Chain A
């Protein structure tokens, strides 16, 4: 056994717990110790549950055979947690204690997992650096002067700093993959409809997805098995059966065809990023996969389409925070959020609808077609997650257009609804993590997890840890 139990994988943790090598209380305390040591610098949490409260929860757990008995975790603060403050990173909801549980949270509770805190994020998911928050900005554990990414930045930082074994993030245009890649962890953006959105505070409903963030593909498979599936409370969840992601994880990827979309290696993409992704492709070749170049020509319109679709939906989704019922008035919206509300309101207005919103729907169809065409030729696609490693604080937030462009590689998967797995594939010379993403067809999580698992069996990037 490793000296630090917080470095164990979920599989190892569950084995050790079952063998009573340590208790759940000891396990929680080990994580709480890390939080105690690092949180002051990392700022991964908006709300931390009280230690006594967590202990009481564990003691109340009926230790039947449950999949995750006693395993701690954290949630992005966008998830509704009954009686535990939920803000979505905005002061509008400061102190808001919900009256029900998000489905994803309830499923984890039902499986014996224990919530220890709510992670910092860009308010309402509006951002890719977590700087657009009304609370403390999370810092990148690999360089405290740099962002952790966003919008699920707190969740990524918490996993990277071993404060929790896994977290649930939310991805509308890269919000799981971007911080996962900046913080050297693994994160999955699921197929739209694979995991219930009930109780996820909506940013852009047709793009929002609920997914796990963890230290490895294997850990992701454990969590996905629990949270995936049809939910009677979310009409957009799919009745497709949930495969056994864990059992089939180690299936090899021989003869699988991996497409490399040339548009994912555009000018402006950091050379080290390109190099590390190309290195990873060589590993896949060694594992028996065939690599071919493909094209997703519509990626160029992805940014424009996304920044019409998402603001349009958010302008409607945020209408309920009108100051009547949730305590705090609209002047608490940040500049970035107001900008998105205004853009969306404009795009949906009479006289502009056809030129903007409707056109973005057409672009959406083009993007879906491009991915469908690519997947006719290959089983999965691989490209970088971000064009650059994690920027310094203020670098992107000060330039809204640059902020939008930084999402160029992670927006179109949400527009198309396809799953994409972000995982570490190396470091810059200066020691900053670089991530790649494996994209699959709708509901092909099993395939991309197998590929990611095979890669992580052959490499150890995901095992590197920040020096804290």
Chain B
């Protein structure tokens, strides 16, 4: 039944930037975990008379993300007011961007990026009991944190495609270093909108359903699949799914209706008069472009080319920027002192034989070298080993009959003879070599 229909999926993603200060004031952007209402000022509390002053860094980062997503950066851009009443919105409007966003018409993984724009986060409502009464508390610590919104074209045709797109976007954001994009903390929030059309039909369906409150890629996939099934069932019955906003209940694995089209807002957007419009010079934009780091896809290609690795290896190494940087650092050190194969270094990292957060690249190289070196025992040391083997025939016999654990006893004996001056690992390997040969 579902094969009769084709999903039409678009995504809206909100990302909190990790600038030092908030979008329009000097309060900390890193609000997470702070005592409620301790990270506020007249501006982010929306007190009478306070004015927003845009955070230059946040604006540049928004443009940088637009560039990373292959967007056009219009020379002219501006902020607008999005007017609506909600207790977590202290000014009664959100400063956002309407018709002149910082970035437009991009592409990622063949999915069109409609726009990338800048706005401010809201406060947080806490539903609690105070003195036995149910009430809602407001925490403004998050109010005014820089938020970038990325909107895609409805180009996505499956939940898996959506998941892959989101992972790639997440990776790019982390590469540029503009956000932790930590979904548990809500610093990256996903809102798919979904509708179905009959296979073969062209044009967009006459409805769409937006799903909110999703905080993992897998939940996004599940929510999309749930909606596809739900829409298909309705369409089969000859009904059109209602245009609405739905929430995702991760415990039950279902979506539920939150707000219907009839309650849709008229946001009465108009240009934010407190912030002058932005006109970029070519120089300003090229400075931002130059500061963009190498992005994941470029890095994958370069690592394949420079270090003769497979695409598989390169993709895993570049999944997290930290891993890629670790690998490149290790390779660099290796060419100076160790001359190890890049493939071997890559394998150690890929197979997680070491914890790269605890082992320095130098230490890693030493470990690899120790492991892979041909056993080199000098004449003198060899004499000690033979002496020990001759003196311990029972242990030698035990080893040969399969009781390999006695090897450590033999190594210990040799180490005692040489007063610990030999390398235990090398001694061990030499003993194994001698006993297995004879």
Contact = CB atoms under 8 A, between A and B. Distances in A.
B49 interface: yes
A198 B49 contact: yes
B51 A233 contact: yes
B50 to A, nearest CB: 7
A324 B45 CA distance: 12
B82 to A, nearest CB: 10
A301 B229 CA distance: 57
Given A235-B275, A235-B276, A320 B46 contact: yes
B274 A235 contact: yes
B270 A312 contact: yes
A170 B275 CA distance: 20
Contacts of A353: 268, 270
Nearest to A346: B268
A202 B49 contact: yes
B205 interface: no
B48 A320 contact: yes
Given A316-B268, A319-B92, A324-B87, A205 B49 contact: no
B97 to A, nearest CB: 15
Interface in A75-111: 79-80, 86, 88, 93, 96, 98-100, 102
Interface string A200-211: 111011100000
Given A100-B42, A235-B54, A345-B268, A319 B83 contact: yes
Given A235-B53, A320-B92, A349 B48 contact: no
Give the one of B42, B53, B92, B268 with max A CB within 10 A. Answer: B268
A54 B17 CA distance: 46
B192 interface: no
A104 B76 CA distance: 31
B91 interface: yes
Interface in A28-73: none
Interface in B45-66: 46-54
A197 B48 contact: no
Interface residues of B, number: 26
Measured as residues with beta carbon below 8 angstroms from the partner, the interface class of chain A is: 35 or more
Interface in A204-222: 204-206
Interface in B27-83: 42, 46-54, 81, 83
Interface in A345-400: 345, 348-350, 353, 357
B131 to A, nearest CB: 19
B309 to A, nearest CB: 49
A100 B266 CA distance: 34
B363 to A, nearest CB: 48
A322 interface: yes
Given A100-B42, A205-B273, A235-B276, A319 B91 contact: yes
B144 interface: no
A143 interface: no
B268 A349 contact: yes
B48 A234 contact: no
B51 A235 contact: yes
Contacts of A79: 49
B268 A348 contact: yes
A205 B79 CA distance: 14
A102 B270 CA distance: 26
B49 A233 contact: no
A235 B52 contact: yes
A189 to B, nearest CB: 17
Contacts of A232: 53
Given A313-B273, A316-B83, A102 B49 contact: yes
Contact of B266 (A102, A319, A350): A350
Contacts of A320: 46, 48, 90-92
Interface in A419-440: none
Contacts of B54: 235
A98 B93 contact: no
B270 A357 contact: yes
B194 to A, nearest CB: 25
Contacts of A19: none
Given A316-B81, A319-B91, A320-B46, A234 B273 contact: no
Contacts of A149: none
Contacts of A334: none
Contacts of B273: 204-206, 236, 313
A80 B274 contact: no
Interface string B90-105: 1111000000000000
Given A88-B48, A312-B270, A322-B85, A234 B91 contact: no
A94 to B, nearest CB: 13
Contacts of B48: 80, 86, 88, 93, 96, 98, 201-202, 320, 326
Contacts of A467: none
A349 B92 contact: no
Nearest to A325: B90
Contacts of A96: 48
Contacts of A313: 270, 273
B123 to A, nearest CB: 11
A387 B48 CA distance: 33
Interface in B375-408: none
Nearest to A348: B268
Contacts of A236: 51, 273-276
Interface in B254-303: 266, 268-270, 273-276
A316 B51 contact: no
A325 B90 CA distance: 9
A98 B49 CA distance: 10
The 6 closest A-B pairs by CB, nearest first: A319-B92, A206-B273, A348-B268, A205-B273, A199-B49, A80-B49
Given A80-B49, A316-B92, A324-B87, 13 more contacts: A93-B48, A201-B48, A202-B48, A235-B53, A235-B274, A236-B274, A313-B273, A320-B48, A325-B90, A326-B48, A348-B270, A353-B268, A357-B270
Interface of B: 42, 46-54, 81, 83, 85, 87, 90-93, 266, 268-270, 273-276
28 contacts: A79-B49, A93-B48, A96-B48, A98-B48, A99-B42, A100-B42, A197-B51, A198-B49, A202-B48, A234-B51, A235-B51, A235-B53, A235-B275, A312-B270, A315-B268, A316-B81, A316-B93, A316-B268, A316-B270, A319-B85, A320-B48, A320-B91, A325-B90, A326-B48, A345-B268, A348-B269, A350-B266, A353-B268
